[in-house]
A and B are shown apart, each in its own frame.
Chain A
Amino acid sequence: MTEEFRTQCRELMARFPQARSALLPMLHLAQAEDGYVTPEAIRVCAELLELSTAEVAAVASFYTMYKRHRSGTYHLGVCTNTLCAVLGGDEIWRTLSERLDTGHDEVSADGTFSLERIECQAACTHAPVMTANWEYLDDMDVDKALDVVARLGRGEAVRSTRGPVIRPFTDTERTLAGYDDGLAGEGGTADAKMLAGVAYARQHGMSAPQAPERSPFDETSGTDDAGGAPAGDGEG
């Protein structure tokens, strides 16, 4: 691992009351470097945290997002938990797996794609759901899935349905390690499905009860200057 990796790991360790809390971000950072958690990364993390390699490997092997071989440039997930499977996820999985000649937790021959049968992605309203480097691809069907693969394979930009243009696997891992990618503004506030209730309520004149004029905290004297803006630490 590079000296820069060690420096960044020490920065992560300094953010927590106890340095070991940085281990999950450090392993994400290791994947940002190499596309998976290498044996060397395990040794370096162990050395920095004064743990045994067995302790670090035990953590790395517990979490499904940490890979023990290099992921494809685009790590594709197809949700095959019950709801997505029933709504067509199994068919999407079968087609993609055949087309790429790649099974679960395997990498395509050219290294462009890796495939994973993923568990519930907390997007059931948008089923069947896929992910590419963990960015949402909502409301998928077989044709859309094949189209995404074709476009990514040709190096074209593919935008997540609720987020930014999909970047390589290692870039997403750097975001998860704690580094700002400047992409929080991508993707809008909410799509039609997230807005379904708001739209219905507007249409039918439904709303929450009127808010009272005074809050239970209004009679408190003293500091009452929520509008003030003293300098903050600016952490982000």
Chain B
Amino acid sequence: MALTPVLTAHWDEPDAFTIAGYRRHGGYEMVGKVLGADPDRLIQVVKDSGLRGRGGAGFPTGLKWSFVPQNDDKDHYLVVNADESEPGACKDIPLMIANPHAVVEGCILAAHAIRARRCFIYIRGEVPQAVRRVRAAVGEAYAAGFLGRDVLGTGIDVDIDVHAGAGAYICGEETALLDSLEGRRGQPRLKPPFPAVAGLYARPTVVNNVETIANIPTIARNGAEWLRQMGTEKSPGFKLFSVSGHVNRPGVFECALGTTMRELLDYAGGVRDGHELKFWVPGGSSVPLLMPEHLDVPMTYEDMQAAGTMLGTATVMVFDETTSVVRAISRWIHFYKHESCGKCTPCREGTYWLEQLLADFELGRAAQGDIAKVDEVCKQMFGRNFCPLGDAAATPYAPALKYFRSEFEAGTHTPAHELFDPLASAVFTPSTVGAAP
């Protein structure tokens, strides 16, 4: 597999984020063509392409669209999930900053496919630069006639609102996002009913990840067969990967699905000089970690699953031998405790206890029985909540224990910072001076 710049192809042009920069490379050419065709045609093209959701779950996009009831005389809504908050994930924000018009054009086309006149792009509030860029792109698209009433004389109306969140990881879960968009606490709903039947304002709604939506104009332009030249049968196409952590050149890499971590490490300049790979996490903190022995597993939905993990957001975190795995897991558990919405008891209580137990390991004061106790708490949490946050919190511990049991055993007598100097894992040398504020 190889690098396949599509969404990123023109990011080295200074005006790529403007409508002029986007149209220079064929941007918005599909609006008139797709809106002039039957909505089912785009659904079929996307189905044929095999495109799977890029938010982490990998559900087939065309199939999701086809669940929306048609000709039911109800308002339909397209909601774009741009609440990227998964620890390790850093691909949607760069996309919105550098190529917001691909998102806007994708919204126009997808809205037509699902018979929606109204689209909401929900962007996490902590990144005003992404909010600005997408909002400006929407404004430019209105001014050019690609949004609003009777788009390009097709008789079709499409409106987009850009909505800023206010700080809550859980709003990346689609039903929590819908509640948040309705002005409520962002807490997940019981499913069914699924959003396709009763979503925003209890109306048929499709919630798609922002990278998924940005794929749509290219797939409409180039067709399913073109997309299937990349990736595998079950994981066709290209994907925004990122590599962060202890590598020489961290960054965003747009690759065909099926690219291996060994290739990605090469693109990212390898593990930082003088160090070696300890473990890596393929798709955000909610998926099980992998080891150097997994470097040649193709990064597809199916191969990652076979390796005992998930592709997730395909945003890889790399940690070298200076990293305490106990510290890493403990901090992720703290995150899930902080972000649990509190609706479901196993998640709310489980994260509360896990955080304290993991902190004990990190501080070197865990009891011998705590290794089994953490495992038991995780099992009590798993699969017992409305949404996957509880599962995510229960996920990192078991693989970490499997590969690094001795570090957890050491947590019964020695603090992690004595075993692993935190300054050795830092990517800078701390200064002893510094100007007074």
Contacts and interface: CB of A to CB of B under 8 A. Distances in A.
Contacts of B190: none
Interface string A132-160: 00111000011100110110010000001
Contacts of A90: 422
B427 A187 contact: no
Nearest to B37: A220
B16 A189 contact: yes
A125 B135 contact: no
Contact of B426 (A63, A88, A231): A88
B183 A24 contact: yes
Given A83-B245, A122-B92, A17 B201 contact: yes
Task: Name, among A24, A85, A135, the residue most crowded by chain B CB atoms within 10 Å (CB to CB).
Answer: A24
A112 B135 CA distance: 30
Given A232-B147, A233-B149, A119 B339 contact: yes
B150 A15 contact: no
A226 B118 contact: no
Interface in B364-387: none
A63 B165 contact: yes
Interface residues of A, number: 111
Given A25-B164, A184-B132, A208-B238, A194 B426 contact: no
Contacts of A177: 164
Nearest to A108: B437
A100 B31 CA distance: 53
Contacts of B180: 24
A52 interface: no
Nearest to B140: A236
A188 interface: yes
B128 A135 contact: yes
Interface in B27-86: 28-37, 41, 45, 75, 84-86
B78 to A, nearest CB: 13
Contacts of B433: 143
A4 interface: no
Contact of B153 (A176, A211, A223): A223
A180 interface: yes
A72 B253 CA distance: 37
A21 B243 CA distance: 36
Interface centre among B5, B98, B118, B154, by most A CB within 10 Å?
B5
Interface stretch (B223-231, B290-298, B303-311, B401-409): B223-231
Given A163-B129, A189-B13, A195-B11, A127 B45 contact: no
B93 interface: yes
Given A175-B131, A206-B3, A217-B220, A223 B152 contact: yes
B206 interface: no
B183 A160 contact: no
Given A135-B129, A208-B238, A197 B5 contact: yes
Contacts of B144: 229, 232
A93 B206 CA distance: 40
Contacts of A141: 427-428, 430-431
Interface string B417-437: 000001101111011011111
Contacts of B84: 122
A49 B180 CA distance: 15
Interface string A193-236: 11111111100101111011001111010111110111111111
A147 to B, nearest CB: 6
B32 A226 contact: yes
Contact of A142 (B45, B145, B430): B430
B138 A172 contact: no
A230 B142 CA distance: 10
A124 B90 contact: yes
Contact of A18 (B92, B161, B201): B201
Contacts of A143: 431, 433-434
A18 B182 contact: yes
Contacts of A172: 128
Contacts of A218: 33
Contact of A176 (B31, B131, B146): B131
The 5 nearest A-B residue pairs measured at CB: A196-B251, A236-B139, A88-B426, A23-B183, A184-B136
5 contacts: A121-B126, A153-B437, A196-B253, A197-B251, A200-B253
Interface of A: 15-18, 20-25, 27-28, 49, 58-59, 62-66, 77, 80-83, 85-88, 90-91, 95, 99-100, 118-128, 131, 134-136, 141-143, 146-147, 149-150, 153, 160, 162-164, 172, 175-178, 180-181, 183-185, 187-190, 192-201, 204, 206-209, 211-212, 215-218, 220, 222-226, 228-236
Given A183-B132, A220-B41, 19 more contacts: A17-B201, A24-B164, A66-B167, A82-B317, A82-B327, A86-B328, A119-B339, A122-B90, A134-B128, A146-B435, A149-B437, A162-B97, A197-B251, A197-B252, A198-B254, A206-B4, A228-B145, A228-B152, A233-B142
Interface of B: 2-6, 8-9, 11-18, 21, 28-37, 41, 45, 75, 84-90, 92-94, 97-98, 118, 124-129, 131-133, 135-136, 138-139, 141-150, 152-154, 159, 161-169, 180-186, 201, 220-226, 229-230, 238, 241-246, 249-255, 267-268, 285, 315, 317, 319, 323, 327-328, 331-332, 335, 338-339, 341, 422-423, 425-428, 430-431, 433-437
